[in-house]
Amino acid sequence: MAKVEWDDSLSVNVDLIDEQHKMLIQRLSDLHEAVGAHKGPNEIVRTLNFLSEYTEFHFGTEETHMKANDYPEMAEHMKLHDEFRGTITSLGEDFEEEGATASLADSIEILLVNWLLKHIRGTDVRFGQFLREKGIVLVGEA
């Protein structure tokens, strides 16, 4: 597949969230590359852990600000985050059982990469609009 990269079409017009999305996409891309290149198990576990940690950090940021601002679509948005967390866990289990197979690389592309791009373009863009309409500026670490 083509390299996964952040571009302007993925902007939610909230700087902090855009910066975190760039990092998340980078880590996802690293995992996809490691699996596609049949890197050793240590390297794959490392990139998978990196992705998983950063996912927690990033979803945590969005969820904190959804709660703090009584975002009306919070429950639905958090359910989607849980879906992605669950997928990472189950792909990690597939990797432990079967190693870096072609089907694992496909699953990463379809279940993680495509899912995330769609999530950013729809669900996160709506959250970004909400924050901007309320004049809320997020500060924090990317």
Counting residues that bind Fe ion (by CB under 5 A) gives 2
- In the bound state, the residue with its beta carbon closest to Fe ion is 124
Q: How far is the CB of 50 from Fe ion (least distance, A)?
A: 19
Cβ–Cβ contacts within 10 Å for residue 128, how many?
Answer: 19
Q: Are 24 and 54 in contact (CB under 8 A)?
A: yes
Chain centroid to Cα 40, Å, comes to 23
Cβ–Cβ contacts within 10 Å for residue 88, how many?
Answer: 19
Q: How far is the CB of 116 from Fe ion (least distance, A)?
A: 9
Q: How far is the CB of 133 from Fe ion (least distance, A)?
A: 17
Report the C-alpha gap between 91 and 32 in whole angstroms. 12
- Position 124 contacts Fe ion (CB under 5 A): yes
Q: Per CB under 5 A, which of residues 10..69 are in contact with Fe ion? A: 62
Using CB under 5 A, which of the segments 32-40, 87-95, 109-117, 121-129 binds Fe ion? 121-129
Give residues in contact with Fe ion (CB under 5 A): 62, 124
